[in-house]
């Protein structure tokens, strides 16, 4: 990973697809880092990325949630509760 420092700490803008915050931006793009290194006032430094296999314990991955489907409970035909049912004109409901 590369850390790019702008000429001023008040530099707050997006340029080259990366966002500078307080004059600092980070990217994994080597070409983009070399482009900034050729610009006056910008400095680029290589930031080592910590490998999870070295010295840090890997945390278990949480179970992925099932994708959200229709809201509400579904009957055995796959219809959600009250899905597509219109109330009766007299307000008595479909069961009356």
pLDDT 10s digits, 16-68:
889 999 999 999 999 999 999 989 999 999 998 876 666 555 555 555 555 55
State residue 94's pLDDT score. Answer: 54
Residue 94 forms part of a structural domain: no
Residue 73 forms part of a structural domain: no
Residue 34 forms part of a structural domain: yes
Q: 27 phi and psi, to 5 degrees?
A: -150, 155
Query: Each residue of 4-17: b (16+ CB within 10 Å) or e?
Result: bbbeeeebeeeebe
Provide the domain count of the chain. Answer: 1
Residue 37 forms part of a structural domain: yes
CA angle 27, 30, 35 (to 5 degrees): 90
DSSP H or E stretch at residue 34: helix 30-37
d(CA 1, CA 18): 13
Per the structure, the complete domain to which residue 10 belongs is given by 2-46
- The predicted model scores a pTM of 0.51
Residue 66 forms part of a structural domain: no
Whether 17 and 32 have beta carbons less than 8 Å apart is answered as yes
């Amino acid at each position: 990973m590369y850390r790019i420092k702008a000429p001023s700490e008040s530099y707050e803008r997006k340029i080259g697809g990366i966002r500078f915050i307080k004059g600092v931006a980070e990217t994994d793009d080597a070409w983009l880092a070399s482009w900034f290194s050729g610009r006056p006032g910008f400095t680029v430094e290589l930031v080592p990325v910590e490998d999870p296999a070295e010295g840090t314990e890997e945390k278990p991955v949480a179970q992925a949630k099932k994708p959200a489907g229709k809201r509400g409970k579904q009957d055995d035909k796959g219809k959600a509760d009250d899905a597509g049912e219109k109330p009766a004109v007299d307000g008595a409901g479909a069961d009356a």
